[in-house]
Amino acid sequence: MKTFKQDSDKLAAMKAVKKDKDVKEKYETFERDRAKYERYMNDLAQTMPALMKMTHTCTKLPKFDSADMSSYYRDLSKALESCAADAGDLAKVPIKSYAEYGADMQESVSRKKDIVDQMANLNLNDIEYGSADYEKLQDLHAKMSDIDSPTLDQSDLQKAAKEADLSGSLKDLETTLSEKIK
The pLDDT tens digits of the residues spanning 48-70 come to: 999 999 999 999 989 887 778 88
Over the chain, what is the mean pLDDT?
Answer: 87
Phi, psi of 14 (to 5 degrees): -65, 145
Angle between helices 96-120 and 132-146 (to 10 degrees): 180
Task: Indicate the pTM of the whole model.
Answer: 0.78
Pair 103, 54: CB distance under 8 Å = no
List all residues 6 or more positions away from 149 whose beta carbon is below 8 Å from its beta carbon: 108
pLDDT tens per residue across span 135-149: 999 999 999 999 988
For the chain, report the end-to-end CA distance as a whole number of angstroms: 32
pLDDT of 69: 82
Query: What percent of the chain clears pLDDT 90, i.e. is strictly above it?
Result: 43
Domain boundaries, the chain: 2-181
* Encoded amino acid at 30, one letter: F
Residue 122 banded pLDDT, cuts 50, 70, 90: confident
The stretches of 13-131 forming alpha helices (DSSP H) are 15-19, 21-58, 69-90, 96-120
